[in-house]
């Protein structure tokens, strides 16, 4: 096993950061690493907005559901799927932009995820900790207004960066046999693997919380996918010019 694999397998979300600042040159380098990720057809449909102002950070923390580390981390980045820049390029060349294409939406959203994960791996290689903030999608219209996002741009998630002030355990993942399939999709592997994983997750939570949280992965999935999740996103995205075709 090499150091890159060890780094990837030791990923944890960090929610408590020290007051040690991150030099802007480091943030620039990390975002540049994100730019080096794969991008479909070289669209590069990613815009990253770094939030410096304390007041804006606190507003975003509140909009994300009251997550204080948005305000306390060394650097906070908002990752946006951006078709406005490709639109500009298209029109500059005399083309007519085709709004609302679902495929373009997928391309932009995947580009964001790939770029952010490159940045995360680079950050962790420097000893930084990270935490993704999907809670920005709790109030995407308010976030967009706060950041002056135009149509054809939407906030996918935020990213906290900072020097860790905690050392949590690595959260166990699903057994590989439930994830890596061969030749065809096989739901038959779920029974034993999901059941075993439920017990692993239960033990992890009981240990991590000193017995205060007794839950399994399946119970969490019941709470998550057993109900509507952010149904406002459909209307918001369509208002922004996405998902029309």
- C-alpha to C-alpha distance for 196 and 179, rounded to whole angstroms: 14
Q: Which domain holds residue 192?
A: 176-214
Q: How far apart are CA 58 and CA 69, in angstroms?
A: 9
DSSP symbol at 136: G
Closest to 16 in 3D by CA, of 88, 67, 81:
67
Residues 40, 143 within the same domain: yes
DSSP 194-214: HHHHHHHHHHHHHHHTTTS--
Q: Distance between CA 62 and CA 71 in Å, rounded?
A: 10
Q: Tell me, yes or no, whether 72 and 151 share the same domain.
A: yes
Query: For the chain, what is the domain count?
Result: 2
- Predicted pLDDT of residue 153: 98
Q: Are 28 and 112 in a shared domain?
A: yes
> Which residue from 120, 111, 110, 109 is spatially nearest to 30, judged by alpha carbons?
120
* Rounded-to-integer distance, Cα 245 and Cα 232, Å: 18
* CA of residue 54 relative to chain centroid, distance: 22
DSSP letter, residue 244: -
Residues 137 and 189 both lie in one domain: no
Token pair for residue 68?
């204080």
Which CATH number covers residue 54?
Answer: 3.40.109.10
Q: Within this chain, do residues 159 and 46 fall inside the same structural domain, yes or no?
A: yes
- Asked if residue 221 is part of any domain, the answer here is no
pLDDT attached to residue 209: 85
55 lies in a domain? yes
| Same domain, residue pair 199 and 111 | no
pLDDT at residue 243, rounded to an integer:
95
Domain contains 28: yes
CA–CA dist 61, 71 (Å, integer): 6
Q: Which two tokens stand for residue 5?
A: 């694999």
Please give the helix or strand (H or E) that residue 157 lies within, else none: strand 153-162
> Nearest Cα to 134, choosing from 80, 64, 69?
64
- Strand-pair partners of 80: 47, 155
141 Cα distance to chain centroid:
18
Q: Examine residue 245 and state whether it is found in any structural domain, yes or no.
A: no
**Residues of the chain predicted below pLDDT 70:** none
Tell me the whole-structure pTM to 2 decimals.
0.95
Q: What is the pLDDT of residue 211?
A: 86
Q: Does 201 lie in the same domain as 110? A: no
Quote the DSSP letter at residue 20. Answer: P
Residues 124 and 187 placed together within one structural domain of the fold = no
Instruction: Tell me if 214 sits within 8 A of 202, measured CB to CB.
Output: yes
Domain identity same for 87 and 163: yes
Residue 207 belongs to a domain: yes
């Amino acid at each position: 096993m090499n150091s890159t694999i060890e780094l990837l397998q030791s990923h944890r979300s960090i929610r408590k950061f020290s007051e040690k600042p991150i030099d802007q040159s480091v943030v620039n380098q990390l975002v540049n690493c994100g730019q080096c990720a794969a991008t479909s057809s070289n669209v590069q449909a990613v815009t990253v907005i770094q939030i410096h102002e304390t007041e804006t950070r606190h507003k975003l923390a509140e909009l994300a559901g009251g997550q204080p580390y948005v305000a306390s981390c060394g650097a906070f980045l908002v990752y946006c799927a951006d078709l406005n820049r490709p639109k500009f390029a298209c029109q500059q060349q005399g083309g007519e932009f085709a709004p609302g294409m679902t495929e373009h939406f997928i391309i932009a959203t995947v580009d964001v995820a790939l770029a952010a994960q490159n940045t995360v791996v680079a950050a962790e290689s420097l000893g930084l900790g990270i935490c993704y903030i999907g809670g920005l999608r709790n109030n995407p219209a308010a976030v967009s207004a706060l950041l002056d996002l135009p149509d054809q741009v939407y906030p996918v998630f935020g990213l906290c960066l900072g020097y860790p002030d905690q050392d949590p355990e690595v959260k166990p993942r699903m057994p590989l046999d439930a994830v890596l399939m061969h030749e065809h999709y096989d739901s038959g592997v779920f029974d034993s693997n999901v059941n075993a994983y439920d017990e692993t997750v239960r033990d992890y939570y009981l240990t991590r919380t000193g017995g205060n949280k007794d839950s399994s992965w399946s119970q969490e999935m019941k709470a998550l996918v057993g109900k509507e999740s952010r149904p406002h996103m459909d209307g918001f995205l369509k208002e922004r010019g996405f998902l029309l075709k």
